[in-house]
Amino acid sequence: MSLTADTDVLKRAVGFSAVDRYVRSGTCLGLGTGTTARWAVARVAERVARGEEIVAVATSTATERQCRELGIPLVALGEREIDVAIDGADEVAADWSLTKGAGGALFREKAVALAARAFVVIVTPEKLVERLGAFPTPVEVVPFAAVTVACAVEAAHPGVRVRRRGGVAPFLTDNGNAILDCAFGPIDDPAALDAALRAIHGVVATGLFPSGLTSVVLVADANGTRELPEPH
């Protein structure tokens, strides 16, 4: 089995496990975006097909499309209280702060995570790091201000690039915004950096999720799916 196929098996395992552990009939849940979260969506669809009453808030048009194709009822953010949100991450630090946004859904993912009573993060082992920063930090910006925001960030942190689709046209989020991918290196204080970035006029959101937002981290490896102990 190839490394990619093996990783996909683990993503399926952790996505299924999160739904089995934290979703009950009657649950309203937030469903994340990406290659791990799509397995949670698939598991929810199986449960709905068996007759369980589950509704979802999707964090992207891609997840919304998957839900509609699989028959998962959808509600808008704010229409119902979200019992639990399930999503992947690009990095999970030792204090449970996160980097998210490789798929460009960071604003909606954070909105759903903030609204949920519990936020369950599902990952494979390579996503676990001591400190955030090996993965570029996505920053969502209003396109009109993208150049000025990039210059402001570059002044303190060289290594900013505008995300492009296919290497040519700028990538646009579901909100119609641009993404700056910022190479900050090791991040000592994600919450402080997040606040500093959001203070720049034109920044909509960052892919830095503060440590207090995460309720549970589930990790799938060759030995099964385990729940990480809470950080001290």
| The one catalytic residue among 64, 91, 109, 140 | 109
Tell me how far apart the alpha carbons of residues 122 and 86 are, in angstroms, rounded to a whole number: 7
Residue written as tokens 């604003």? Answer: 107
Q: Is 109 a catalytic residue?
A: yes
Radius of gyration in angstroms for the set of CA atoms belonging to the chain, rounded to a whole number: 17
Tell me how far apart the alpha carbons of residues 105 and 65 are, in angstroms, rounded to a whole number: 14
Query: DSSP E strands: which ranges in 142-185?
Result: 160-162, 164-165, 169-170, 178-182
Tell me how far apart the alpha carbons of residues 8 and 184 are, in angstroms, rounded to a whole number: 29
DSSP letters, 215-227, are -EEEEEETTEEEE
Tell me how far apart the alpha carbons of residues 105 and 174 are, in angstroms, rounded to a whole number: 7
DSSP letters, 21-75, are HH--TT-EEEE--STTHHHHHHHHHHHHHTT---EEEESSHHHHHHHHHHT--B-
DSSP state of 83: S
- Helix, strand, or coil here: 92? strand
Q: Return the active site residues.
A: 109
